[in-house]
Structure 1
Amino acid sequence: MKCENLEEVRENIDRIDRDIVKLIAERSKYVVQAANFKKGVEDVQAHQRVERVINKVRDLANDNDVNPDILENIYREMISSFINFELSEYEKLRQNEEV
């Protein structure tokens, strides 16, 4: 894990970024599926679920020696973006049901 130079550090960060993007892409596929099971906008927004996820992420951050505030900020932004995405998917599904 110890790098010998800045180039090596950047190569590792780039590799990790590729992995993160793949995982976020996988997560987005589940978000689309979740929209199928939601009964209303409140279910999509799922405020209690968001807080449970944030608490879990903070615990994971502590377990992995990462600043929990950083991960909370990242996750809140990501979850907000996914909620907006899921709302648009939810609306599409509802419109298709009406046709």
Structure 2
Amino acid sequence: MQKEKCESLDQVREKIDAIDQALIEIIATRQFYVDQAVRFKRTAEEVQSPERVQQVINKVRQKAIDLGTNPDLVEHLYREMIQHFIQRELKEIRP
């Protein structure tokens, strides 16, 4: 995503609103794929997969560092999102 200097608070807010829209669309797309992944998982252990969670966390922390943003914030956001998706998946595999 291209960054550009804004000339007014309204312009900053418009940019932020556009980013928020894009983030929500990306989260919805991620959820779509998580919902597909559950078809390939048979147990709660496969859903919770701590090693996969840690792999994702390591990857996003490094990406945050590479892009100059706070890796702790990114990790927190991802852990919240992942936990939500795990709970969603668990409802699918448990009758």
TM-score for both structures, normalised by structure 1: 0.88
Residue among 36, 49, 69 paired with 2:39: 36
Cα RMSD after superposing both structures: 0.9
Q: How far did residue 73 of structure 1 move? A: 0.6
1:2 pairs with 2:5: yes
Structure 1: distance between partners of 2:89 and 2:26: 17
Cα drift, residue 39 of structure 1 = 1.8
How far is the alpha carbon of 1:90 from its aligned partner?
Answer: 2.3
Query: What is the match of residue 20 of structure 1?
Result: 23
Matched letter for residue 64 of structure 2:
A
Name stretches of at least 5 consecutive residues in structure 2 with no aligned partner.
none
- 5+ residue gaps, structure 1, are none
The reply to whether residue 53 of structure 1 matches residue 90 of structure 2 is: no
SS of structure 2 residue aligned to 1:58: helix
Please state how far the C-alpha of 1:66 moved relative to its aligned partner. Answer: 0.6
- SS of the aligned residue for 2:40 comes to coil
Give the deviation of 1:88 after TM superposition: 1.3
* Normalised TM-score (structure 2): 0.92
The alignment partner of 1:36 has SS state of helix
Cα distance in 2 for residues equivalent to 1:82 and 1:9: 32
Post-superposition offset of 1:87: 1.1
Once residues 58 and 87 of structure 2 are traced to their aligned partners in structure 1, the CA distance between those partners, rounded to angstroms, is 21
Stretches (4+) displaced over 2 A: none
